[in-house]
Amino acid sequence: MEALLELEKVQRVLSLMGSRGLSDSDGSGGGDRFLAHFLLFLAQPFDSLAIEKKVVLISELLREVNSDTLKEVQRLASLEGTNREDECRSYFIFHGLDVNRPHSVFKFLPLLSFTESYIYQLDASNEDSLLLVPDNNSSSTVLERKIQGSSQMSLSDMLDPLDNFLQCQGLMTDQLRNELKSGIQYWSLERKLCQALSRNDKISIEDVMEAIHLKSFDYRVLNLMMYRLTGQQVNDLHMEFLSVSEFLVEICDDLYDYEDDVVNNTFNILRMFAVIYGPLDAPKMLAKCIGEAEEKYESFSKKLDPSISRSYWRRCEEATKEGGKISGHAYGTWNIPPLIRDEGSFRLDRLNRGDASAMTIR
């Protein structure tokens, strides 16, 4: 019944739009439905905002929004929820919990969600500090430092409130605190490496490999929290196995996000390998790195309890299919994208296309 009432409201708004000449100019029914839902959203009460104030706010916002902004909002809106879902579906297996039982999920979700959200905001702030913007006076680029909050605040200081929160909840351990420090190390390395790339300075393979291994610290933080929340001892074998799995997942994500990471000047293992080994050898060296990690993965998986190993393998296959990759291996086929030889030109071209899209929207 609710769905029918909602459909009726949309239809009434569509009729109103037709009478006022507000229909989508290209005759797309999808466009008209989108506009109808948007108008219904604007008409909904929100705090004490009057409709007139909403109109002013939306008018000001739309003058500044372009397609790239909407894509970034979409990424931000989906990423956190995806990570949280992945944490539950992938890691609960190792704690004897069934993700299909709501009690198992919602008993721990508030603490996990808060911690993940806090870490994600710091990660986003660190990435903001690496953005490259065109210099108004030349074709070169300048580094734009935009750490949220105080620009003088250290990463360690920014993590203190989370540290205090976890202590108050009785969840802090030495191992958990070390993983939080790993996050600070990763963010520091990301700055060091990406700023070096922006200056065409040399980078070391040691720093790159340390960074890619540290990058999944947030998952390890959440996993260690789960051991405390369930009153279990940390299982070192499980942690070692998951560390290898996380390493492979990070590489897979970096390959998928390669172009976006070039534009945003953020850490990406393929970017780093391209600088260290050159465009011809970088794919081969990365493939070698992946192969060695897969061998470790297979070795550790044989040491796991067979039921856990099977469950985790099925979960990896599900995640792979959800990402649109279907193959014999749980992580799908490895597809290394074409290397970008001139990052500056690629970044400028992407920015120019974004400006053109914004002009079209306006």
- For the segment 215-236, the average pLDDT, to the nearest whole number, is 96
Give the count of beta carbons closer than 10 Å to the beta carbon of residue 220: 22
Model pLDDT for residues 48-97, shown as the tens digit of each residue: 778 888 888 888 887 877 777 776 666 555 544 455 666 678 899 999 98
Burial class (CB in 10 A: 0-12, 13-18, 19+), 195: middle
pLDDT of residue 138: 39
Of 24-38, 46-60, 186-200, 314-328, the one with minimum mean pLDDT is: 314-328
3-class SS at 134?
strand
Model pLDDT for residues 21-34, shown as the tens digit of each residue: 777 766 555 778 88
3-class SS at 112?
helix
pLDDT of residue 77: 57
pLDDT of residue 308: 93
Structure-model confidence comparison of residues 205 and 31, the more confident one: 205
Mean of pLDDT over the chain:
82
Which alpha helices (H) appear in the chain, and where do they start and end? 2-19, 29-43, 51-64, 67-86, 102-106, 109-128, 155-168, 174-198, 205-214, 217-229, 236-256, 258-264, 269-303, 306-322, 343-361
Please give the Cα distance from 362 to 348 (Å, whole number): 21
Model pLDDT for residues 35-47, shown as the tens digit of each residue: 888 888 888 887 7
For residue 362, is pLDDT > 60? Answer: no
- pLDDT band (50, 70, 90) for residue 2: low
- pLDDT band (50, 70, 90) for residue 180: very high
For the chain, list the domains and their CATH numbers.
Answer: 70-103+110-129+155-320+336-361 (1.10.600)
pLDDT of residue 354: 64
